[in-house]
Chains A and B, each alone.
Chain A
Amino acid sequence: MDKLSDTLGRFGGVNLLPLALAAVAFVLIGAPSSWVTLTIAGLSMGMMVFLMASGLSLVFGLMDVLNFGHSAFISFGAFVAASVLAALGGWLDGGPMLAAAALALALIAAIAFGLAAGLFFETVIIRPVYRDHLRQILITMGALIVSEQIILAVWGGTPITVPRPPFLEGAWIIGDVSIEIYRLFAFGLGAAVFVGLMVLLNRTRIGLLIRAGVENREMVEALGFKIDRLFIGVFMLGSALAALGGAMWAGYETLITPALGGEMMIVVFIVVIIGGLGSIEGTLLGAIIVGLTANYVGYLAPKLALASNMILMMTILMWRPSGLRPAVK
């Protein structure tokens, strides 16, 4: 038994879970073409959820702050991007260059908004309640209520359609497998962000400080680094990623309502809990597992789809109470 777990550990340990999941699903589904479609859908959903969840996890790991208002950034990102795309509607039909520019502008607007909102949130809402979990939960909850109401006041309660650039519409058909282009785009973007974050955390000086801060905050302060500024930076980065994730999700759903943030928040929470708070790899792992499970179960047993995430979370918590790859001990 020990030997088996050793061998498993050498090949990646818990990182093998998505592969195992995919293999089991392959047997259960039986049809390779639908399996490929579902797997790609699951991976791209996982990547978008990863974008939303990574900020939450990082902020918790570094600052010991859990932001229940995180979903506000997701909704704001989605709505800002949708508004920009709607405003630049003419560009979308004006050839691939203009359409790409419009898309880039929309994503940049979402990111910029996320950065600004993160700065505001950190300094005004969260700064006064560091190290007080109860009040943190309450305050960020209050901020979430206010943000949701602002979204309702500005954009109204009716669903908004999100225009997509034409070059992201449609699907590639290889044999009898059809792959939606938008999903590939979402997957690529998510992967790029993941690689970027890994480089930032593991190869740069700032990343070193962040990791050191996660490990032992007092020590980093004692060495003379201004960890407060680092906090603000990480918080803004996290909010911007959430906004980007929201914007991507808006393009994926193409019809968004103000309830979007709340719906995604549950998924994000589950991902962060499964992955283990504070670690980027854990969050990615959790996001991919959740994305795959959601798609496979949605195909195999649609009735179970809603409860599947919950069951998944419970199972993993029983097995590993602090998540699959926790960074915080």
Chain B
Amino acid sequence: MKQTFGTLTVKTAMLVIFALLLFAPFLFQDIRALEVAARICIFIVLVASYDLLIGYTGIVSFAHTMFFGFGAYGSAIALKQMGPGWDAVALGTAAGVLVSLVVATAIGLVSLRVKAIFFAMITLAAASVVLVLASQLSQITGGEDGMTYRTPDLFKTATKLLVADDGKVVRWFGVKLNGKLAAYYFVFFTSLVLFLVMLRITVSPLGTVLKAIRENEARAEAIGYRVVAYRTFVFCLSAVVASLAGSIYALWLKYTGPDTALSFAIMIDILLMVVIGGMGTMWGAVIGAVLMVMAQYYLRDLMGAASEAVAGIPLLPELLAPDRWLFWLGIIFILLVYFFPKGIVGTLNTKGVRS
């Protein structure tokens, strides 16, 4: 592909984001920034796996947080019941992946034959049932409150990775080499590996078949590809990746509850990220996740200020209140789907290309 201004911009942005995330603990030395960075890493994986469905294959599923939740709850329950240890992490993650795989196969085989719209409705119904179950089975899942647990010792803030002669933690560039740092790099590198695997899949022959199915299902079928099998496979694949992302997130947060792992709000976040970044390109997932997570953490402060500034006018303060940030994102979302259906990356990629 010829390099254009647009593709160069995307590539530069990717490098910058990669560098920022890689050195995040050293560049931004406060707790909140590290939270943001870790959340960005995990959501890049989650959104990219969703993009495999919606962008590459053209399947609209509303059950993606359900799989994310399976992974998170799997790890969380294992860590809670078995105590902090790597065996618990491995078992919980494996259990989460297994449940995701089984549920995804079941949903896929039953309903991927039908129209896109039917599938969207069925996944929405399934996800809401799981959400209700998670809050009802409070003996196992902690109900609405969720559960806190301890993670393996390596990730404790008190753990010293390198000890200086005087018994204190070694500092590099003013950053303590403690367990928090280890946890961040665990999140970063596992996310990176998962993302690269997905990137590899999209440029493989499999990725091409998926795009063919998206563009013209009947034709793909006619050429001889078993559309239902491919769809079910990619649905399972993205479910497994989402489940792994959930497990990582559970390890990082040391807390799992409906709000962090299972709620419909996360599904909406993922949708917004995919659409903002650009469907059908892995880089879109990166841009979307970065922008949305930043907005979640920092836009609210801005809106609080704006709300106070217009305090005299009726209704506007309520709409500008920090809790109403979804309102504005919803409007942006609608406008984006109208005017830039390809999202930021898609639009940039076509910029300068003469067709």
Contact residues of A with B, CB < 8 Å? 60, 66, 68, 125, 128-129, 133-139, 141-143, 145-146, 148-150, 152-154, 262, 266, 269-270, 272-273, 306-307, 309-310, 313-314, 317-318, 321-322
Contact = CB atoms under 8 A, between A and B. Distances in A.
A106 B113 CA distance: 44
Nearest to A150: B327
A149 B325 CA distance: 9
A306 B135 CA distance: 11
Contact of A310 (B111, B115, B126, B330): B126
A142 B133 contact: no
Nearest to A323: B118
- Interface SS, B side: helix
Nearest to A310: B129
A266 B125 contact: yes
Contacts of B54: 134
A125 B338 CA distance: 9
B326 A145 contact: yes
26 contacts: A129-B337, A129-B338, A135-B341, A137-B60, A137-B120, A138-B60, A142-B331, A142-B334, A145-B326, A146-B327, A149-B319, A149-B324, A153-B327, A262-B264, A266-B124, A269-B121, A269-B124, A270-B125, A306-B129, A306-B133, A307-B129, A309-B125, A310-B126, A317-B110, A317-B111, A318-B110
B310 interface: no
Contacts of B321: 153
B125 A128 contact: no
A125 B334 contact: yes
B35 interface: no
A307 B338 contact: no
B116 interface: yes
Interface string B91-127: 0000000000000000000110111111011101110
Contacts of B326: 145, 148-149
Contacts of A145: 268, 326-327, 329-330, 333
B159 interface: no
A139 B338 contact: yes
Nearest to B317: A153
B51 to A, nearest CB: 13
Contact of B337 (A66, A142, A152, A317): A142
Interface string B121-144: 110111011001100100000000
A62 B85 CA distance: 57
Instruction: Across the A-B interface, give the 6 residue pairs with the lowest CB-CB distance, nearest first.
Output: A149-B327, A145-B330, A146-B330, A142-B333, A142-B334, A153-B318
A143 B315 CA distance: 19
B275 interface: yes
B331 A146 contact: yes
Nearest to A138: B337
A310 B329 CA distance: 31
A322 B268 CA distance: 28
A143 B330 contact: yes
A141 B318 contact: no
A151 to B, nearest CB: 10
Which of B58, B114, B117 gathers the greatest number of chain A CB atoms within 10 Å?
B117
Interface residues on B, range: 35 or more
A118 to B, nearest CB: 17
- Interface SS, A side: helix
B227 interface: no
Nearest to A265: B124
A273 B334 contact: no
B304 to A, nearest CB: 15
B323 interface: yes
B47 interface: no
A273 B337 contact: no
Nearest to A328: B115
A68 B54 CA distance: 17
Nearest to B279: A134
B271 interface: yes
Given A134-B58, A137-B60, A142 B330 contact: yes
Contacts of B133: 306-307
B344 to A, nearest CB: 15
Contact of A269 (B58, B113, B125, B319): B125
Contacts of A150: 319, 327
Contacts of A317: 110-111, 122
Nearest to B128: A266
Interface in B298-355: 315, 318-319, 321, 323-324, 326-327, 329-331, 333-334, 337-338, 341
Contacts of B126: 310
A141 B271 contact: yes
B227 to A, nearest CB: 16
Interface in B4-20: none
B209 to A, nearest CB: 19
Contacts of A138: 60, 271, 275, 333, 337
Nearest to A141: B271
A306 B133 CA distance: 8
A179 to B, nearest CB: 29
Contacts of B264: 262
Contacts of B331: 142, 146
Contacts of B125: 266, 269-270, 273, 309-310, 313
B17 to A, nearest CB: 25
A250 B315 CA distance: 24
Nearest to A145: B330
B217 to A, nearest CB: 12
